Amino acid sequence: MLDELKKAVCNANLELVRHKVVIYTWGNVSGIDREKGLVVIKPSGVDYANMAPEDMVTVELDSGKPVEGKWKPSSDTQTHLALYRAFPSLGGITHTHSVNAVAFAQAGLPIPALGTTHADYFYGDIPCTPSLTEAQTADDYELNTGLAIEKCFKDMGINPVAIPAVLVKNHGPFTFGKTPDESVYHAVVLETVAEMAMKTLALSSDAALPQYILDKHYQRKHGPNAYYGQK
């Protein structure tokens, strides 16, 4: 089973390149085996060009201790682990530095739900965390990044299944899914809706999406009586 998870995580990381939401060694994807309490994640600073499943690194969910792999795990590993511990529904996490989503993060702004494309995937605005303090940045920076995301979601009453994305102020986006591949899917969609939102707001600062349209589009894909797609 762990070999299958390594393949899934590797393929998910390569999918980021195929969809042009990462360049060089930017970004990372992880997946979790909750039964074993293990997380598989991209190695730190390793180029995507020749990446293979055996390059993935396996760490313990609770301690973060590497248990398998020839490389160091991603520098963002502690952020991923904090999120897996906080939200049992997560099966995959993606982090990128995609341009339009990062622009909102650097401005410290949420990505507003302005249209039906957004509503098909995110049930409301995509939140942006506050900045980390100097102390949080100096000590356990990556862990504190995960804890800041957790606090943001819990303070705002957000379910990460309904809004599977977040921006970390001055940093960038993290997206979630039931699987590593789904978390990548949400990262690609997030970048697109961020671009749409930015262009919309440039044309009209008063742009808004009525709640009833947000409800309709999200529920027809994800609600109890969803009818989008094939059975």
228 is catalytic: yes
Query: Which is catalytic among the residues 3, 62, 215, 228?
Result: 228
Give the count of beta carbons closer than 10 Å to the beta carbon of residue 4: 12
CB burial of 141-159 (b: ≥16 within 10 Å; e: otherwise) equals: ebbbbbbbbbebbeeeebe
The Cα–Cα gap between 91 and 226 comes to 22
Which residues pair with residue 28 across a beta bridge?
95
The Cα–Cα gap between 202 and 209 comes to 16
Query: Which is catalytic among the residues 33, 55, 120, 140?
Result: 120
SS3 letters for 82-107? Answer: HHHHHCCCCCEEEECCCHHHHHHHHH
The Cα–Cα gap between 145 and 37 comes to 21
120 is catalytic: yes
Give the count of beta carbons closer than 10 Å to the beta carbon of residue 70: 9
Residue with the two structure tokens 């039931």: 178
Give catalytic residue positions. 120, 228
